[in-house]
Amino acid sequence: MPDVWLDTVTPKISIVIHSLLPSLHAKGYTTMVTAKKQTQTTDLLDALKTPYYSVGDYGTNPKEKLAADANRILELLELFDKVGYPKVLWAHGDVAAIRTAFGLGIPVVYANDTVFAYHVAKLVSPIVNWLVAPVCFGKSWSKFGIPKARIVHYDGLEECAWLKTEFETPKFLRELSVRKPVVLFRDAEYQASYCKEIKVDSQRLIKELAKLATVVCLPRDEQEKEKLRAIPNVWVPPKPVLTAQLIPYVDLMVGSGGTACRETALAGIPTINFHFWDVQARYLHRKGVPVQIIRNTDRIVKTAKKILQNPQKYRKNTKADLEKMESPLPVWTSYIERCMKNNA
């Protein structure tokens, strides 16, 4: 019977779980990881050598999403009948996982930094035991039904959980050292329920950036990967790769992926985000971290051209900034431990 069940449904959460497991194991807890069947989510777990059970799938429209959610609950119950029922769930918002835990009386530590994902927040916030979130969000989630007293803050971002970790650099990345300058590109997560209208023409933007530099693209699915490979001077990694592994080679980040943009900005790389001007971006901006929001394709290209003429001029040593930020790892571990004791 596992003590702590950790659930991932996105690539970012896979990295978070990989970072959190050592803290839990150091406390003597046994763990199990479940992951939705999605290329990047499970590929990253494989790359990080993190054992997991593949459970459930995604849908592309509301009906499919609802059916997939219901099926995942049944698959989770079948899994627990085989391996044992966990004592605590740590999750980042998957509705099926949290509903399953609630139905079984398993306490939930809910980590989240996507208050704009209101479909999920409305469904799960009232039934979790603790919500652990960056301080920059304040008590935002209370409007979804969780008591303010159950919202725990830390003065940092989730990316602080792994940015100080040294990841081994895959050999295939070394070719980027001779393909300077390099722009890293990450598009929007169009399938997500919270994905708002984006006015930037991504395909046109990539083609324009590829005239200025080698564009390294991190696609979200196989269909996007094939489109990108057809564009001259665009390089798609042949295997799963972490943003943290790419950082030594990158001169500029352009994208709509909140996590990737925060990673590069925290590493001191000039970053242009064309989707979210969310509270986390404002939090970083106030701290002088090099991130800016531009939602016009022509302005992005113009700004990118200026930066790429002298990338070092726009880089910043953010080591001191990162040191001042709080990692969520000790906070997550503390509240998991609290639930374990209360559920003993």
Domains 4-156+326-342 and 171-324 share a fold: yes
pLDDT confidence of 202, banded at 50, 70, 90? confident
Q: What CATH number matches the domain at 4-156+326-342, 3.50.30.10, 3.40.50.2000, 3.20.20.70, 3.30.930.10?
A: 3.40.50.2000
User: What does CATH list as the number for 171-324?
Assistant: 3.40.50.2000
Coil, strand or helix at 170: coil
Give the pLDDT confidence of 39-68 residue by residue, as tens digits. Answer: 688 989 998 999 999 999 888 788 998 999
The number of beta carbons lying within 10 Å of the beta carbon of residue 196 is 9
Q: How far apart are CA 226 and CA 217, in angstroms?
A: 11
Tell me the percentage of the chain whose pLDDT exceeds 90.
62
pLDDT for the residue 197: 59
DSSP 49: T
Tell me the pLDDT of the chain averaged across its residues.
90
- Please tell me which residue, 40 or 155, carries the higher pLDDT value: 155
List the domain boundaries for the chain. Answer: 4-156+326-342, 171-324
The number of beta carbons lying within 10 Å of the beta carbon of residue 225 is 15
pLDDT confidence of 270, banded at 50, 70, 90? very high
Residue 9: pLDDT over 60: yes
pLDDT for the residue 195: 52
Give the pLDDT confidence of 168-196 residue by residue, as tens digits. Answer: 888 888 888 878 899 999 876 655 555 55
Q: How far is CA 28 from CA 14, 60, 108, in A?
A: 21, 40, 19
pLDDT for the residue 212: 96
pLDDT confidence of 285, banded at 50, 70, 90? confident
The pairing of strands 53-54 and 271-273 is unpaired
Give me the long-range contacts of 20-26 (CB less than 8 A, separation at least 24).
20/90, 20/161, 20/329, 20/332, 20/333, 21/50, 23/329, 23/330, 23/332, 23/333, 24/333, 24/336
Q: How far apart are CA 96 and CA 9, in angstroms?
A: 11
pLDDT for the residue 277: 56
Across the range 310-320, mean pLDDT stands at 93
Which helix (H) or strand (E) segment is 252 a member of?
A: strand 252-255
